[in-house]
Chain A
Amino acid sequence: DQQVKQNSPSLSVQEGRISILNCDYTNSMFDYFLWYKKYPAEGPTFLISISSIKDKNEDGRFTVFLNKSAKHLSLHIVPSQPGDSAVYFCAARAGNKLVFGAGTILRVKS
């Protein structure tokens, strides 16, 4: 039973436009949420995070939104750049552990 779900396996966006990656979770005990980005042949790298007491966190072109009532998390990338093409993993913390989603492949076309 996957507690963190990324229902879109892939997303294709034109350079300069907005990319929106979505994540749903089922465990109401999750108190911290993170996004990781992964390029081929590399390990995932931390991108941005948000505490459950907030509904938005922004870092440059990246913004994460949290809707606790809907148990939904989204990552907005504006404007999208070709270098953003990667696999994006959503993750949620419960206690000392992170639970990851299956990932979404983002392709930004130039």
Chain B
Amino acid sequence: DADVTQTPRNRITKTGKRIMLECSQTKGHDRMYWYRQDPGLGLRLIYYSFDVKDINKGEISDGYSVSRQAQAKFSLSLESAIPNQTALYFCATSDPRDRGREKLFFGSGTQLSVL
């Protein structure tokens, strides 16, 4: 079983719809992240959370919101989806106690298409 699980793997939605991408982890890590990948732009940070009561904006948080329901769960919402939010979305975790705490563990990704 995957340590970091994202659902759904693929999603097609229409402009203006609200959607939620979910992430759960069994690694026991406190830190969780949401990234999006676009061709030619690499991975960009949307939101991150260092514990259940901590939520921080990343570099491209506009149009997104998150919820940290538990240590193991971190969901990303698009309140009103628009076509330029079409991208591959990744959830990741890290352990601050790890000497290499920059080492992120990624899920397999959610391919989102907004029509």
Footprint of B on A, CB under 8 Å? 2, 4, 6, 9, 32, 34, 36, 41-46, 49, 89, 91, 93, 96-98, 100-103
CB of B58 within 8 A of CB of A97, answer yes
CB of A34 within 8 A of CB of B44, answer no
A71 to chain B: closest CB distance in Å?
17
In Å, the complex CA distance between A51 and B11 comes to: 38
Q: How many residues of B contact A (CB 8 A)?
A: 22
A97 to chain B: closest CB distance in Å?
6
CB of A89 within 8 A of CB of B42, answer yes
B11 to chain A: closest CB distance in Å?
15
CB of A46 within 8 A of CB of B43, answer no
Known: A43-B4, A43-B108, A44-B90. A34 touches B43 (CB 8 A): no
Partner of A43, one of B40, B50, B90: B90
In the complex, chain B residues whose CB is within 8 Å of the CB of A36: 104
The chain B residue sitting closest to A103, CB to CB, is: B42
Would you call B102 an interface residue if the criterion is a C-beta within 8 Å of the partner chain's C-beta atoms?
Answer: yes
CB of A46 within 8 A of CB of B58, answer no
In Å, the complex CA distance between A51 and B107 comes to: 25
Partner of B106, one of A45, A93, A102: A45
In the complex, chain B residues whose CB is within 8 Å of the CB of A89: 42-43
CB of A102 within 8 A of CB of B40, answer yes
The chain A residue sitting closest to B100, CB to CB, is: A49
Partner of A34, one of B41, B90, B102, B108: B102
A72 to chain B: closest CB distance in Å?
17
Known: A41-B108, A98-B45. A46 touches B40 (CB 8 A): no
A4 to chain B: closest CB distance in Å?
8
CB<8 Å pairs between A and B, sample of 26: A4-B42, A9-B40, A32-B102, A36-B104, A41-B108, A43-B4, A43-B106, A44-B43, A44-B90, A44-B106, A45-B106, A46-B103, A46-B104, A49-B100, A49-B102, A49-B103, A91-B43, A91-B102, A97-B48, A98-B102, A98-B104, A100-B35, A100-B43, A101-B42, A102-B41, A103-B42
